Amino acid sequence: MNQIQTKTDQTRTALITGANNGIGLELTRKLLQEGWHVAALIRSSFSVEDSEITTAIQRGRLRIYTAELTDFTQLAAALAQIQREETSIDVLFNNAGGSLPALAFSPQGREMHYELQTVVPYIIYQEMKPLLLRGSLKTVIGTSSNAFNFTKVFEADQLANPTRFKPLTGAYADTKLALSLWTQALAPSEAKEGIRLRSADPGPNNTLRKGKKSGLPFPIHYLMKFFFAPPTQGAGRLYDAAFGAYRDEIGVLVNQKGKVQLPFSDQAQQVLDNVKRIYEKEYKS
């Protein structure tokens, strides 16, 4: 018997970046268990020892698109493939991210956190917008962070090329904030087309991976390893941000307590202008 499950008009599809590890993996599991189809945009493969995931792939309910997201050549190829092969997207989870241990730059020459956590989510949204408009929920959730609670100075025009590196509370925190800021600035215009953009703080989760440097200060690394919640918690919070009490809100950052007042909101439009310029002048050219 053919096990491939084809999409019907009632099937819902989520596109999840960073779907094969940590919070993204647990979110993928949760949606698959609820009968969703998942399009996974990932850099590396799923574990072949994960029988649940392997079965979903075999049945066509989990479809994999591969790219190093910070490399625009690879990103463009993967997004073009998604555009060809998917018929609609109901929810986009811009989830991929991470804290690096040292200053690094993307193939395009921008600081890596900024490229991955601020610029690329904007590009993915813009490229997936036609598929979102064909979907039923038309929802976009960006994974943010509470790390920016320690941010004292924020300069939108310095994110691409910082002169100093600080683990977790530096570029990582700044670029997560920048994601939430452009989301806030863009959301009202997109809502006119029926698309709801929000960002969500998944809270402290143990997303450490064996053999990979976390880029976290030692005290935070220790706390994460022994005291932080498993990534199922973060997945649940992203899920709630999409489908819970704030499902009709636009532009907001939500955490376990509710809506968060973003600092440096006066720079939200500048952040949006910067990522829009990169998309239009560089990515699309």
- Specify the pLDDT at position 230: 80
- Mean pLDDT value of segment 124-148: 97
**Which CATH code is given to the segment(s) 13-283?**
3.40.50.720
List, for residues 91-127, the tens digit of each pLDDT value.
999 999 998 989 999 999 999 999 999 999 999 999 9
Residue with tokens 């962070």: 145
| CB 146, CB 169: distance < 8 Å | no
Confidence of residue 82 (pLDDT cuts 50, 70, 90): very high
User: What are the residue ranges spanned by the domains of the chain?
Assistant: 13-283
> Using only C-alpha atoms, what is the Rg of the chain?
18
Whole-number pLDDT of residue 7:
62
153-192 residues labelled b (16+ CB within 10 A) or e (exposed): ebebeebbebeeeebbbbbbbbbbbbbbbbbbbbbeebbe
pLDDT score of 2: 35
Task: List CB contacts of 211: < 8 A, sequence separation 6 or more.
Answer: none
How many of the other CB atoms lie within 10 Å of CB of 28?
28
Reported as a single tens digit per residue, the pLDDT across 44-68 is 999 999 999 999 999 999 999 999 9
